[in-house]
Amino acid sequence: REKLKTGQIPITPPPTSPAIQHRLWPEVDRLVKQQVAMARMGIGECGTGWQLFAEDGEMKMYRREEEVDGMVVDPLKAVHVVKGITGHEVCDYFFNPKYRYDWETTLEHMTVLETISDDTLVFLQTHKRIWPASQRDVVFWSHMRKLPNDQDRDGPDIWTVVNNSTESPEHPANVGKCVRIYLTVCLLCQTRVHPPKDGAPITRNNVSCKITYCSVVNPGGWAPASVLRAVYKREYPKFLKRFTSYVINQTKNKPLMF
Ligand code: 18C
């Protein structure tokens, strides 16, 4: 914080989140900026090798085959456009732990290890086991943020949630039955408003949400590549369809939240 003399007006803007005081803040802020910049790029702009592996209506999912130390870490990029919901709503349902068991079908158990601030939490999750591999767990911080809409200053804000693996001294990796996975996930949501021509009030029929979901998951230990790629192919489309239907259902009788 800058030191002010009496009567001097501060030039440093106020912190945008109380999490700014936390030891993880520099990493959170850096990763969020980096992940949002990558998510905003079109599939043609973010390197070569992207293959479309799933398509259903507006939903398109691409992956790039990558391995690190013999382990499959294929980056995934999905884009979807969903009518009737806003970016703020999508991010709220994705971030807020109270909804997680409703839509996250691979989840076995979730604990909030730390509440850094209203928009920054640390989670410990265990996921369902896939035979013949070991069960997986993950510790990650999750941060939700509103971004200025610099392409359309009068348009609704853009919202994002970034999840990134972190360490917890109380929950060290690979000590129990679970193998620790490592992930970086970015959900970026842009609301589009299609105003009614007669100047009538905006309803859910006049909004849609462009969703970009990017993820890189390192399985953390042995997992047969063919099984892993088959799991990805099945589970990612299932997740995005189920999650977005869930948000539509939850919000249909609620006022729009921009
Ligand atoms: O982003 C998503 N969810 C967030 C909130 O939970 C958060 C967490 C992501 C965890 C993703 C990793 C889950 C691993 C689960 C193991 C697979 C269980 C399948 C059970 C089938 C009955 O960011 C949405 C996440 C959508 C997840 C899609 C599946 C991704 C598969 C990743 C495989 C990881 C290694 C598994 C090792 C075993 C392989 C043989």
Alpha helices, DSSP H, located in the chain: 25-40, 87-95, 100-103, 225-251
Out of 92, 125, 177, 235, give the residue to mutate to test ligand 1, the one with the largest number of ligand atoms within 8 Å of its CB. Answer: 235
Given CA atoms 111, 37, 118, 86 in this order, what sign does their dihedral have? negative
Residue 132 Cα to ligand 1 middle (Å): 16
Give the residue among 221, 157, 184 at the shortest CA–CA distance from 76.
Answer: 184
Q: Which residues pair with 214 in a beta bridge?
A: 77, 186
| Residue 103 CB–ligand 1 contact under 6 Å | no
Could you report how far apart the first and last alpha carbons of the chain are, in Å? 32
Out of 231, 234, 238, give the residue to mutate to test ligand 1, the one with the largest number of ligand atoms within 8 Å of its CB. Answer: 231
| Residue 209 CB–ligand 1 contact under 6 Å | no
pLDDT tens digits for the chain (258 residues)?
A: 456 666 666 556 555 677 888 999 999 999 999 999 999 999 989 888 999 999 999 999 999 999 998 899 999 999 999 999 999 999 999 999 999 999 999 999 999 999 999 999 999 999 999 988 999 999 999 999 999 888 887 889 999 999 999 999 999 999 999 999 999 999 999 999 999 889 899 999 999 999 999 999 999 998 889 999 999 999 999 999 999 999 999 999 999 999
- Residue-level length of the chain: 258
Residue 197, H or E segment? none
ipTM reported for the complex surpasses 0.90: yes
What does the pLDDT look like over 31-51, one tens digit per residue?
999 999 999 999 989 888 999
Residue 125 Cα to ligand 1 middle (Å): 10
